[in-house]
Structure 1
Amino acid sequence: MTAVVPSPELTEPVEPPPSARKPKRNWTPWVLLAPGLLWLVVFFLVPIFTSVSASVQTGDYDDGFKLTWHWANYSQALTDYGVQYLHSGIYSVLCTVFCLALGYPVAYFIAFKGGKYKSLLMALVIVPSFTSFLIRTIAWKTILADNGPVVQFLNDAHVLKLTSALGWTVGNHVLASPAAVVCGMVYNFLPFTILPLYTSLEKIDPRLHEAGHDLYCSPFTTWRRVTLPLSMPGVIGGTLLTFIPAIGDYINAQLLGNPNTGVVGQKIEDLFLRNTQGYPVGSAISVVMMVGTLVLVMSYIRKAGTEDLI
């Protein structure tokens, strides 16, 4: 009887198809994300957890603070500092509106009319931010001084009579008033509005404007129907980058305002630095401010849409 020799093809193990192979885990993305995640945990999550924990504590600086779940700190934060919350909200909204009204024409001009001077014009927008925020705010004391040209012009134009009647200035003075606070905020946060707007406008093809003209659209109609919808990602991004830091700002109110223009940041500073028992209430104010800002921002994003923000 003849022995049957198995074929080499039958003796070799059959290699599974590529689809059946177990994919190897790629750790490279996690390694690259590790520094950023560690930074967020240490400097974002831990401070938030600390603030939330401190907001329900009792005690003082000398004897220490203990976690007693004292929720009355939140009721005190909401009832005793309602005026400061209102001021912070009004000033930040006005700052955002004025920055958008001033920044959109500037970004539009640089994007479509700047030509070879685009880089220079953008540098002029950014360079003032290289100076200290504090110094730029103090400079507005000179700009808005009573004997300065700005106040003299407003007096000659009888503008201060109207603003004083509305409560935004005090007599013939602009300093130490809500108007001065908003002016300082608009100046300091204007670049945060212009940069996203310019980035969004610069991507728009200028030939779309020519097409609108060929279709007998007026310049305003072309802007309303073409330019504005395409630049909405910049509008949304610019308003968020302006509103979020503006609502927590207190330097402008402290240097350019008066005791009646106090904002939340000033009260938090007072409770943490000048009150030995103010840590829990100051933390509660901070948590309420963070939650309120988050709700407002999320509502705005949901209403405006976020498809093109990234």
Structure 2
Amino acid sequence: MADRAPQTKYMDRRGWSDIIIGAPYVWLVLFFLLPFLIVVGMSVATKTPTAPPFSFGGDYPLINLQAYQRILTDDLYLRAFLTSLANAAVAMVLCLLLGYPMALALTRMSRGWRNVMLMLVILPFWTSFLLRVYAWMGLMGRNSWFNQMLTDWWNFIVPVDWAVRSIPMMNSNFAVVLVMVYTYLPFMILPLYASLERLDTTLDEAAMDLGSTPAQVFRDVTLPQSIPGIVAGGMLVFIPAAGELVIPTLVGNASDPMIGRIISDEFATARDWPMASAVAVALLVLMVIPTMIYTHYQGRAEGSK
């Protein structure tokens, strides 16, 4: 019993709190850091006809940077990165333009209606993601009622020479962005709502009393205070959208793939695991570095207050 006394005292004082605090770090090490190191290791390996299809040392170089050189020189990867970043940026901006008024309206509603509207925002998560994408595939088909409705509107507003039988929407970047906006819009609305709900409405009233118009109040008071929510929502939309695989595969153009499709094809079809790993590492670096920069300056700004 005497040998167990120090352990018992430690558990009584700090043990459980240390375990609770340390559990997330253990989770990150096991399920993020170690897999990331494995992917980095594979990215500098050499593709071989073995199982697994890569090797280090022996008849092959211990460190092979050929995959990273291909990323910088091959137009396929450069174009895929640019397409992914462009589609993700457009989807993020559209989600912001649609989500900000919705989040602001939620904060102005009564408590009862607010709960109902929030439930409607998260309602799509109750259905299968694949089912929702397939539903959009049906809507964008040439013979769907949605396509025919848009076609009729187009033919009504344009000259007769520009009339079309149907609007080609499937297998295009338009379809990819449209489905991504639908899919990731709740990820923009919820952080914006959380940020806007904490705002002090008396500041708006004070600005109105001093003669500001509603537009000036929004520009000078509401918008600056909601920037953290805008950034958080933008990251929650942009990061997964840039690496999206399912949506571009089902509704996108195979001749103009996004980077998620490239990674999948390199792993599964070409079985070039080093190349796929290098592309994944490059995508992660592109996503993480801006996040770290923002977190650094945000921490400095909060520390200076």
Match status 1:32 vs 2:20? yes
| Deviation by residue 1:56-112 (Cα, 9 ceiling, x = unmatched) | 111335354222201111111333311111111001101110111100000000111
SS in 1 for 2:46: strand
* 1:114–1:246 Cα change, 3 Å: farther
| Deviation by residue 1:24-80 (Cα, 9 ceiling, x = unmatched) | 983443211232222111110111000000001113353542222011111113333
**Residue of structure 1 in register with 2:72 after alignment:** 78
**Residue of structure 2 in register with 1:106 after alignment:** 102
Whole-angstrom distance in 1 between the partners of 2:298 and 2:87: 22
**Residue of structure 1 in register with 2:7 after alignment:** none
Whole-angstrom distance in 1 between the partners of 2:237 and 2:136: 19
| Deviation by residue 1:156-199 (Cα, 9 ceiling, x = unmatched) | 4439x99xxxxxxxx82111111110001011111111001001
**Residue of structure 1 in register with 2:219 after alignment:** 224
The answer to whether the 8 A contact 1:57-1:69 is kept is: yes
Q: TM-score, normalised by structure 2?
A: 0.83
Whole-angstrom distance in 2 between the partners of 1:145 and 1:307: 49
Residue identity opposite 1:92 in structure 2: A
Superposition deviation, residue 296 in structure 1: 3.0
Q: Over aligned residues, Cα RMSD in angstroms?
A: 2.5
**Residue of structure 1 in register with 2:144 after alignment:** 148
Residue identity opposite 2:248 in structure 1: A
Match status 1:241 vs 2:236? yes
The answer to whether the 8 A contact 1:233-1:306 is kept is: no
Residue identity opposite 2:39 in structure 1: S
Match status 1:209 vs 2:204? yes
**Residue of structure 1 in register with 2:55 after alignment:** 66
* 1:29–1:302 Cα change, 3 Å: same
Question: Structure 2 matches for 1:174-213, cutoff 5 A?
Answer: 174-213=169-208
Superposition deviation, residue 307 in structure 1: 4.9
Structure whose alpha-carbon radius of gyration is higher: 1
Identity between Structure 1 and Structure 2 (%): 36
Superposition deviation, residue 204 in structure 1: 1.7
Whole-angstrom distance in 2 between the partners of 1:201 and 1:151: 36
Which stretch of the first structure deviates more once superposed, 25-34 or 262-271? 25-34
Residue identity opposite 1:97 in structure 2: V
The answer to whether the 8 A contact 2:249-2:261 is kept is: yes
**Residue of structure 1 in register with 2:163 after alignment:** none
Whole-angstrom distance in 2 between the partners of 1:211 and 1:241: 33
* 1:286–1:234 Cα change, 3 Å: same
Residue identity opposite 2:188 in structure 1: T
Whole-angstrom distance in 2 between the partners of 1:137 and 1:125: 17
| Deviation by residue 1:94-143 (Cα, 9 ceiling, x = unmatched) | 11101111000000001113442111100000111122221111111122
**Residue of structure 2 in register with 1:289 after alignment:** 283
The count of aligned residue pairs is 276
Q: Which of 74, 88, 93 in structure 2 is aligned with 1:92?
A: 88
Unaligned runs of 5+ in 1: 1-23, 163-170
The answer to whether the 8 A contact 1:126-1:191 is kept is: yes
SS in 2 for 1:73: helix
Q: TM-score, normalised by structure 1?
A: 0.81
Question: Structure 2 matches for 1:292-303, cutoff 5 A?
Answer: 292-301=286-295
Superposition deviation, residue 304 in structure 1: 6.9
**Residue of structure 2 in register with 1:10 after alignment:** none
Whole-angstrom distance in 2 between the partners of 1:299 and 1:41: 22
**Residue of structure 2 in register with 1:255 after alignment:** 250
**Residue of structure 2 in register with 1:165 after alignment:** none
SS in 1 for 2:14: coil
| Deviation by residue 1:274-298 (Cα, 9 ceiling, x = unmatched) | 223x001100111111111122333
Match status 1:57 vs 2:48? no
Which stretch of the first structure deviates more once superposed, 288-297 or 54-63? 54-63
